[in-house]
């Protein structure tokens, strides 16, 4: 009888590898960069995979944002947040749900109320509004909860706090309180309320103008610090604004022209955006149809109308007998009446394609909406002489209704 031999089996060992390809690494980096730039924050609770990707790449992401924009990347056990401050503030950068300045005031004072609350601590709406009113009165600011419009502002502020997951409603709805000022709501604090407000490099009392608040670092007066400030200003504008005209760099023209090619390559490398140079400025395009950011043209029907108007203006400006003049920088100046005329014709020609809402609106109303849309996307602005200046970028677009894709 043979003896039983005890020993290790000579079997092939299985190896579990977590290695990913270089292409996938690059794809993850682009996803992380765009998410950080376009979202308020990324939480481990709601998006764990993306959170861990950012946490894994934190050193390189943090270094790039600080070097090129001066933005701070903050990652802790609950969330990842890029603290973004625009170089130039525009109205469309605010909360689109808000209607009045009071909405922002009450949103901010709600954050003040939440500062001393613990995670998962519960509180009543009546307690919140009572303390806010008392504190605002001490600051010589008047808010009256018997005033329906003040309650509406508070309701919008609370809705935004819930939408950002800063608070959660346990029982009740603030809508009922705004209607009768008698209902109550039970809220619960989340761990995110203390991360919403930005940090300042120095005490607020040391700031003497609103423009100074746009800087998130203390650059000092030395030449190296001022060079860094210009670099950050350049990247922050390109990353947060849809288009920046070359004329915006008048004060820093030498620095801008020296950095132009580097800006194009860096933004393509880190975000995947394709930059194109035009006479009027540099425009970045998303190569994919889906994007973290809202891109032009938007999914809203007002973008369709805007494209049609831009196309008609371009054709009329290029016509031999045109009353419109194309200036040296490509700007076309038009009156509100001319936009109304174009929309009247478009409404007659394409009525069957338009939504019921836009079919019912008068051309004067549509003209205001179209021009506001152009302003929001940096395609034009009102001049002091009452004319609307449509930038040359508006002439780069053309759209027509049909079943085939338009080639330009």
Global pTM?
Answer: 0.85
List CB contacts of 115: < 8 A, sequence separation 6 or more.
Answer: 193, 194
What is residue 105's predicted lDDT score, i.e. its pLDDT? 96
3-state helix, strand, coil in the chain (%, to 5): 50, 10, 40
What is residue 407's predicted lDDT score, i.e. its pLDDT? 56
Cβ–Cβ under 8 Å, residues 217 and 263: no
Cβ–Cβ under 8 Å, residues 303 and 321: no
Rounded to the nearest angstrom, the gap between the alpha carbon of residue 27 and the centroid of all alpha carbons in its chain is 22
Helix (H, G, I), strand (E, B) or coil at 30: helix
All structural domains of the chain, each given as residue ranges with its CATH number in brackets, are 94-195 (1.10.10), 301-396 (1.10.10)
What is residue 4's predicted lDDT score, i.e. its pLDDT? 46
Cβ–Cβ under 8 Å, residues 335 and 392: no
What is residue 2's predicted lDDT score, i.e. its pLDDT? 46
Cβ–Cβ under 8 Å, residues 98 and 160: yes
Cβ–Cβ under 8 Å, residues 265 and 274: no
- Half-sphere exposure of residue 385: CA atoms within 13 angstroms, side-chain side: 6
Q: Please report the DSSP string for 167-192 in residue order.
A: EEEEE--HHHHHHHS----EEEE-TT
pLDDT in single tens digits along all 408 residues of the chain: 444 444 444 444 444 445 778 899 999 999 999 999 999 999 999 999 999 999 999 999 999 999 999 999 999 999 999 999 998 888 888 898 999 999 999 999 999 999 989 999 999 999 999 999 999 999 999 999 999 999 999 999 999 999 999 999 999 888 889 988 778 999 999 989 888 888 888 888 888 888 788 887 888 888 888 889 888 988 999 999 988 888 777 766 556 667 778 889 999 999 999 998 887 788 888 887 667 888 888 888 899 999 999 999 998 988 888 888 888 788 899 999 999 999 999 999 988 888 888 989 999 999 999 999 999 998 999 998 889 999 988 888 778 777 655 555
What is residue 17's predicted lDDT score, i.e. its pLDDT? 43
Closest CA to 333 of 280, 380, 282: 380
């Amino acid at each position: 009888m043979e003896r039983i031999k005890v020993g290790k089996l000579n079997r092939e060992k299985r190896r579990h590898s977590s290695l990913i390809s270089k292409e996938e690494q690059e794809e993850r980096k682009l996803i992380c960069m765009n998410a950080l730039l376009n979202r308020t924050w990324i939480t481990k609770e709601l998006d764990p995979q993306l959170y861990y990707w950012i946490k894994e790449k934190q050193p390189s992401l943090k270094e790039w944002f600080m070097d090129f924009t001066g933005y701070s990347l903050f990652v802790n056990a609950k969330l990842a947040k890029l603290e973004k401050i625009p170089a130039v503030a525009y109205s469309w950068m605010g909360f689109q749900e808000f209607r009045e300045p009071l909405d922002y005031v009450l949103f901010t004072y709600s954050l003040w109320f939440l500062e001393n609350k613990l995670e998962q601590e519960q509180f009543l709406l009546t307690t919140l509004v009572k303390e806010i009113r008392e504190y605002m009165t001490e600051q010589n600011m008047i808010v009256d909860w018997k005033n329906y419009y003040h309650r509406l502002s508070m309701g919008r502020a609370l809705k935004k706090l819930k939408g950002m997951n800063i608070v959660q409603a346990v029982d009740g709805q603030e809508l009922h309180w705004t209607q009768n000022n008698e209902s109550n709501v039970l809220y619960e604090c989340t761990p995110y309320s203390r991360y919403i407000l930005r940090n300042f490099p120095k005490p607020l009392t040391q700031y003497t103008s609103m423009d100074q608040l746009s800087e998130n670092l203390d650059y000092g007066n030395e030449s190296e610090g001022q060079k860094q400030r210009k670099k950050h200003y350049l990247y922050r504008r390109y990353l947060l604004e849809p288009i920046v005209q070359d004329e915006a760099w008048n004060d820093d023209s030498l620095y801008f022209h020296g950095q132009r090619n580097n800006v194009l390559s860096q933004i393509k490398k880190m975000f995947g955006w394709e930059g194109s140079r035009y006479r009027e400025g540099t425009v970045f395009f998303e190569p994919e149809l889906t994007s973290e950011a809202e891109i032009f043209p938007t999914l809203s029907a007002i973008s369709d109308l805007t494209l049609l108007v831009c196309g008609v203006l371009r054709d009329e400006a290029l016509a031999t007998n045109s009353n419109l003049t194309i200036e040296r920088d490509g700007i076309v100046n038009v009156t509100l009446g001319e936009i109304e005329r174009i929309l009247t014709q478009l409404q007659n020609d394409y009525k069957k394609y338009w939504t019921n809402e836009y079919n019912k609106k008068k051309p004067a109303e549509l003209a205001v909406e179209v021009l506001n849309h152009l302003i929001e996307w940096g395609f034009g602005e009102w001049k002091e002489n009452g004319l609307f200046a449509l930038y040359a970028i508006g002439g780069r677009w053309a759209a027509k209704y049909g079943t085939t894709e338009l080639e330009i």
